[in-house]
Chains A and B, each alone.
Chain A
Amino acid sequence: MTSEFVNRLKVFRAERNWTQADLAEQLGVSRQTVQALEKGRYDPSLPLAFRISRLFGRPIEAIFVQ
């Protein structure tokens, strides 16, 4: 169930003082989806990964690390 990637979503979100709901709204997904992403229990699609990348202004490989 756990992803083979480690992600830094929670770190980047905390840096901006966003709640999971804030991030979910920005990405156009549900809070449950953000929670699953942060826990590494759901791997985003490529379009969602790019949206995350654009939102945080970081390359995808800086957010999702194998």
Chain B
Amino acid sequence: MNTATKTATATATNDKKINDLTVGLCALVVVSSGLTVATPFWPAQLGSAPQLGVVLLAAAIAVFSAIHSLYWWRALDEAAKEAHKWAWWWGGNLGLVVGGAGVVAATLVDVNLLPAFVPHSDAALVATGVLGVFAAQAVGYGVAWCGWWMARR
């Protein structure tokens, strides 16, 4: 079997796995929508128990995303993987540092990062800080990824 044939076979197998996974997730959406009973063994301190279907679906989406990411990663060629790894390290970490410094600096000079319509609370402030840093990390990642490919055009 030559290289092109091997590659085509591997890609087809990967695509089939992703398709099977997607069909499974769609089936679970249908099943979950019918499960309206409260989730058993739900800790009382977390408030009222959500519907079992919602919990199952959330768990399935998490597993689906993880497996889908694995297949997506396997389908990438070595240069594309290298670009992502480089961008993850340099772009992600630089974005994290810059974003973190920005959030800390904003806090020190009493800049209100919360939009007016969001109720002000400690939880909202923490969430804003986390999301701000995450956004900076994502921007850094994107810029570094584009830079890696631009430098190799």
The judgment on whether A and B are partners is yes
Q: Which residues of A pack against B, CB within 8 Å?
A: 1, 25-30, 32-33, 35-37, 39, 41-42, 44-45, 48, 51, 54-55
Query: How far is B79's CA from A27's CA once the two chains are assembled, in angstroms?
Result: 13
Interface size on B, residues (CB 8 A): 14
Given A28-B4, A42-B82; 6 other pairs, CB 8 A cutoff: A25-B4, A27-B3, A27-B4, A36-B152, A39-B152, A51-B3
> B7 at interface (Cβ–Cβ under 8 A)?
yes
Q: B151 — which chain A residues lie within 8 A by C-beta?
A: 1, 41
Q: Are B77 and A29 in contact (CB under 8 A)?
A: yes
> B66 at interface (Cβ–Cβ under 8 A)?
no
Query: How far is B80's CA from A30's CA once the two chains are assembled, in angstroms?
Result: 8
Q: Are A1 and B152 in contact (CB under 8 A)?
A: yes
Q: A51 — which chain B residues lie within 8 A by C-beta?
A: 3
Q: What DSSP secondary structure best describes chain B's contact surface?
A: helix
Query: How far is B33's CA from A59's CA once the two chains are assembled, in angstroms?
Result: 60
Query: How far is B82's CA from A44's CA once the two chains are assembled, in angstroms?
Result: 11
**A51 nearest in chain B by CB position:** B3
Q: Are A26 and B3 in contact (CB under 8 A)?
A: yes
Q: A55 — which chain B residues lie within 8 A by C-beta?
A: 3
**B10 nearest in chain A by CB position:** A28
A to B CB contacts below 8 Å, 12 in the list: A26-B4, A27-B4, A28-B4, A29-B79, A30-B79, A30-B80, A32-B152, A33-B78, A37-B79, A39-B153, A41-B153, A42-B82
Most buried by A among B79, B80, B153: B79
Contact of A28 among B77, B82, B152, B153 (CB under 8 A): B77
Query: How far is B80's CA from A32's CA once the two chains are assembled, in angstroms?
Result: 9
> B73 at interface (Cβ–Cβ under 8 A)?
no
**A32 nearest in chain B by CB position:** B149
* Distance to closest chain B CB from A50 (angstroms): 10
